[in-house]
Structure 1
């Protein structure tokens, strides 16, 4: 607009100064007097064109107009949550292998210990057989060692009996010869031989008894150690044989089988989960919430969901503050104790209350805020909409809280301002 006025001024000046030769001062003065009003008029138009607010003509059907209201503002959050069982347990592969048989299907009700599928792994089975053979061989060796100790004890017992018999013979002979010697019937040298033999047999018996006692004590310790080793080996054998049964996958608890989709012939590695058993004793809601609300969501906050046309009260029972992909996870329980017939995987729209209701000036939410950041808005008056500075406060999925700049009953444009960012006045057609 300013460039067109420049062109007009240029043409006027060119006309005034068309003559290149000015011979008289009176003509020069005459021209200046004629040009002065033109320059004043031109300056006025230039000034007004610069200071005039930029406007744009738009059609009413292209925009959204809302009325500023007075009402109760409630800070709440709306997000989607899915139904999950209150308690569940994973069905894990304890011993890896290829699926040989499948006995149940996904969604079936199962009881604890019920077979679900059978795996096959020839290498693991061969390894189990080798380990079992080795353990049995070790147990046999330990039992043989224990038997040898028992036999050694028996041999010592036999030797002790024989020695005690020799001692008794020597003692009887000693008693008899003592009487004979006292009666001077037995020669002195015979009596001395009898005494020496009795002394020898007595000391021999005492030494052997002490040796046998110590040997028995040592054997008892060894036998006790062998029994402990045998017990450990028996336990290892029992665990090994129990592990052989891990190729048969059974239900760890009673409930409904979910996410169970094994494929015949497919090999699964140890530790992999192939399903979940849901305990059908209550449900909870699990949701991913934007990290912006991490400091706003607290334990035991109340909310509602719609089920079969009626609201159900819920509350926050767990907040997992680990941020993943800009979101964190929360768990909610149903406040009602009544039995609700739900299904896993159902999705609910949760309305979570973040504050109490307060009376405020309210403005409906719209895409205008993307360009204005809540600092200004177009206020509609008749067939015009003028730009005005405002201040917004809290927001919820439906409304902004107006702190300054707008009054109840005023109409504003809430649709996108993408094409109006540099415009001050909109002419509504």
Structure 2
């Protein structure tokens, strides 16, 4: 008789296998998440510097160009096209010297029309004055005739007065002579009053006409002077620069056609990175090298307007010694931002571009571990170390482009 063989419990075997797999995977994941992400690198690919205590001077170095201290613009008063050019760019000119002549037919025609109209108005006003004078002359002539008639009447009156007293003439004739004299007296008095009033009125009119003529003559003078504005002259003596007119080229009224350097000194102008906007102020001192000499400069103006990430700084030479410079000459300026003192510093490197100064690789033997740090001020040579590093520690200052997500570096052939 066959004996029945009991079947093994497969569920228990599957559960055991599953638990084993889970434990293995958990172990792998645990070590994966808790182990540092590392990378092998060659020592000759790295730049390693020591953290040290050294003198730190907060300064900035930038390029500045020489510009004239006093520059006067040569502006176009009346727009037009270039007809004649009398001097070349870079020439020394004197005040009032002719530089170029412009031509604008429409404007000149307009000037001619205005000039003709003004002259016609002046002539009309002068004609009015002449008419007034003629009226006065006519009245004077009338007065002379009236005075003659009065004198005749007076003479007859005086002569017949004696005859009347002697009864030589009748009373009717005497009354006629007396009435004639009274009439001539009234007539003379009336014309005298009229002439006086007319003269007062004429004087007022002539005064107004004269003022109008003066105004017209001033307008005519201004108009004729404006016609001279087509001739561009030097407003100051000095060297003419940025003067590049071309025959036939048109310039609008108010446009600048050149500059004049009066040769009364120089200044330096520079475009500085906006990072230093809060640090640079008027009165800061700096230095430039010129022909083997160190020249002192002083910040005289800070223009805080930022364009394309840069702002403008102007500096002046403080030396009383006369310096012969050339417009456009470039200088490297070292501008001191703080006093020189000893602090913990780190040599500058490109690592800061990837880390933003927040972390760095610290070298220990043949390993380099990532560490959080805090940097402060900087100059072209050093960073100021505020936290995270100690004097004597070695750090990697070369590029971290390939190490951004790495926590530990294994250095082959350590230096």
TM > 0.5:
yes
Unaligned runs of 5+ in 1: 1-21
Distance in 1, Cα, partners of 2:100 & 2:59:
48
Q: 1:243-280 CA distances to partner (integer Å, 9 max, x unpaired)?
A: 22222222111111111111122233322222111111
Q: Which residue of 1 aligns with 2:53?
A: 70
Q: Which residue of 2 aligns with 1:231?
A: 214
Q: Which residue of 1 aligns with 2:273?
A: 290
Q: Which residue of 1 aligns with 2:316?
A: 333
Q: Which residue of 2 aligns with 1:268?
A: 251
Shift of 1:109: 0.6
Q: 1:323-351 CA distances to partner (integer Å, 9 max, x unpaired)?
A: 33333322211111221111111122222
Q: Which residue of 2 aligns with 1:115?
A: 98
1:306 lines up with 2:284 in the alignment: no
Distance in 1, Cα, partners of 2:141 & 2:112:
43
Q: 1:28-77 CA distances to partner (integer Å, 9 max, x unpaired)?
A: 99999999999989876764443222211111222221221212322222
Q: Which residue of 1 aligns with 2:141?
A: 158
Q: Structure 1 323/152 Cα, relative in aligned 2: closer, same or farther at 3 Å?
A: farther
Q: Which residue of 1 aligns with 2:171?
A: 188
Q: Structure 1 131/35 Cα, relative in aligned 2: closer, same or farther at 3 Å?
A: closer
RMSD: 3.0
Which one of 161, 167, 170 corresponds to residue 150 of structure 2? 167
Which one of 400, 404, 407 corresponds to residue 383 of structure 2? 400
Distance in 1, Cα, partners of 2:111 & 2:20:
114
Shift of 1:309: 2.5
TM-score, normalised to structure 2, is 0.89
Distance in 2, Cα, partners of 1:264 & 1:333:
38
Q: Which residue of 1 aligns with 2:298?
A: 315
Alignment of 1:39-58 (within 5 A): 47-58=30-41
1:133 lines up with 2:133 in the alignment: no
Q: Which residue of 2 aligns with 1:9?
A: none
SS in 2 for 1:329: strand
Q: Which residue of 2 aligns with 1:216?
A: 199
Q: Structure 1 189/425 Cα, relative in aligned 2: closer, same or farther at 3 Å?
A: same
Shift of 1:212: 1.0
Q: Which residue of 1 aligns with 2:182?
A: 199
Shift of 1:97: 2.6
Q: Structure 1 38/340 Cα, relative in aligned 2: closer, same or farther at 3 Å?
A: same
Distance in 2, Cα, partners of 1:269 & 1:375:
56
Distance in 1, Cα, partners of 2:394 & 2:274:
34
How many residue pairs get aligned? The number is 408
TM-score, normalised to structure 1, is 0.86
Shift of 1:25: 8.9
Shift of 1:24: 9.1
Distance in 1, Cα, partners of 2:167 & 2:301:
110
Distance in 1, Cα, partners of 2:284 & 2:187:
92
Q: 1:146-180 CA distances to partner (integer Å, 9 max, x unpaired)?
A: 11111222222222222222222222333333333
Q: Structure 1 226/74 Cα, relative in aligned 2: closer, same or farther at 3 Å?
A: same
Distance in 2, Cα, partners of 1:402 & 1:322:
31
1:416 lines up with 2:414 in the alignment: no
Distance in 2, Cα, partners of 1:67 & 1:336:
40
Q: Which residue of 2 aligns with 1:86?
A: 69
Which one of 335, 347, 355 corresponds to residue 352 of structure 1? 335
Distance in 1, Cα, partners of 2:197 & 2:14:
147
Q: Which residue of 2 aligns with 1:383?
A: 366
Q: Structure 1 38/231 Cα, relative in aligned 2: closer, same or farther at 3 Å?
A: closer
Distance in 1, Cα, partners of 2:12 & 2:199:
149
Shift of 1:308: 1.7
Distance in 2, Cα, partners of 1:159 & 1:421:
117
Q: Which residue of 2 aligns with 1:259?
A: 242
Unaligned runs of 5+ in 2: none
Q: Structure 1 42/272 Cα, relative in aligned 2: closer, same or farther at 3 Å?
A: closer
